[in-house]
Structure 1
């Protein structure tokens, strides 16, 4: 087998398989999209590409092949990222697949210790840092859970006032806010009305209001939508 002993190819592929499966086992246990088989296959594939360059040294450089593996796995990782209601899901899984390819490259190159350390680091990052991230998120939520007041304002055509008032109430209460007051005011000789809502939120932040603004801004009768923290009488 060229510059390799007969046992080195199966040994490198075996290590790539075991380490990739070890990384994927944690993903499978958490019911992620790229689980046991995916990470094992990514690791084996990366090892095979590196082995090809090792077995044909006159035509290929292992480092150049490794750079191609990184680019190819980048496209694969992008396939597990999903946009869900403005939020991105699967980024951690995509990063795990990318790291598993690195493990496979190391195993294919015969650097077994580095490959094992890399796989262990990936699993530790997914397990240990997960709980740490949740604690940080929980503290952030607890900090924002105090009651807050908001003022929301939408400018619409006079003929659409009743419809827009109903939409404002529906959108804001659906976000978990308590509606304290809803007022309408004619804008001088413009044929438009300003619908103003005063709200209280217990733990609700700007994200829900931004979603309500996005929904209402699509209404053809609305010319402007704005909001801010506080319920004082200054203009928005």
Structure 2
């Protein structure tokens, strides 16, 4: 019997369905969080579990409300809101210190936990299980692959960076050296994007040329530097790279 006419009648079947959805989100979120906790990540067991359950609650609420009253918000709209909300939560887990960025994987895992919870809340339990499986696989099976790749030395032709050529020459030879440096680099298919000149001691000047290229053949560019270093008036010629952000 419904004692309050403003309350919807108790539906045991719907309540059981919600319990199964939230239980599934709790279990799968805990599995993802356990893996994170073992690795002592910022967002561990409780955080991932709460994200998954929270997403499931909101989506389940939208499903139940839409079934009772129709109209808006639809379950799909609530899923979109969940995605936006988790985006803010994930952004808080990302830390940047100089050129080093950490927390990206934590943020992505939280996003995955929310997806698992949303699937569970929408009664798509097999899909929730598959989503959790793929999140766990990405964080475990792919880890040795990433470590193996990171231990390999980076080859210049496969890296992406800003490449700068520096040439030190006598002031009297500056114009000629600048023209010949430009010609040699363009002949090797490394055109100059920008160039600056600055004093280098009392009698010399340094030419700093930034290349358009974001990847180079190290041996090829070394050969160009050798040719530039042999130009009349040149005392030094070398290049270096800085990683793109």
TM-score over 0.5 for the alignment?
yes
Q: Which has the larger radius of gyration?
A: 2
Q: TM-score range by the shorter chain?
A: 0.5 to 0.7
What SS does structure 2 have at the residue aligned with 1:92? helix
* Residue matched to 2:149: 136
**Deviation readout 1:162-213 (Å, 9 max, x if unpaired):** xxxxxxxxxxxxxxxxxxxxxx7423xxxxx668xxxxxxxxxxxxxxxxxx
Query: Which consecutive residues of structure 2, in runs of 5 or more, have no partner in the other structure?
Result: 1-9, 157-163, 169-199, 207-220, 238-245
What SS does structure 1 have at the residue aligned with 2:93? coil
Distance verdict in 2 for CA 1:3–1:69, change over 3 Å:
farther
1:9 paired with 2:22, answer no
Task: After TM superposition, list the pairs within 5 Å mapping 1:58-97 onto structure 2.
Answer: 58=69, 59-97=72-110
Task: After TM superposition, list the pairs within 5 Å mapping 1:44-55 onto structure 2.
Answer: 44-55=53-64
User: 2 CA distance for matches of 1:139 and 1:72?
Assistant: 38
1:33 paired with 2:42, answer yes
TM-score by length of 1: 0.62
CA contact (8 A) 1:3 1:55 kept: no
> Alpha-carbon deviation of 1:126?
0.7
> Alpha-carbon deviation of 1:6?
2.7
Query: Which consecutive residues of structure 1, in runs of 5 or more, have no partner in the other structure?
Result: 145-149, 155-183, 188-192, 196-227
The structure 1 segments of at least 4 consecutive aligned residues displaced by more than 6 Å after TM superposition are 150-154, 228-231
What SS does structure 2 have at the residue aligned with 1:6? helix
* Residue matched to 2:218: none
What SS does structure 2 have at the residue aligned with 1:140? coil
Q: 2:65 aligns with which of 56, 74, 77?
A: 56
* Residue matched to 1:116: 129
User: 1 CA distance for matches of 2:99 and 2:222?
Assistant: 22
User: 1 CA distance for matches of 2:13 and 2:82?
Assistant: 21
TM-score by length of 2: 0.60
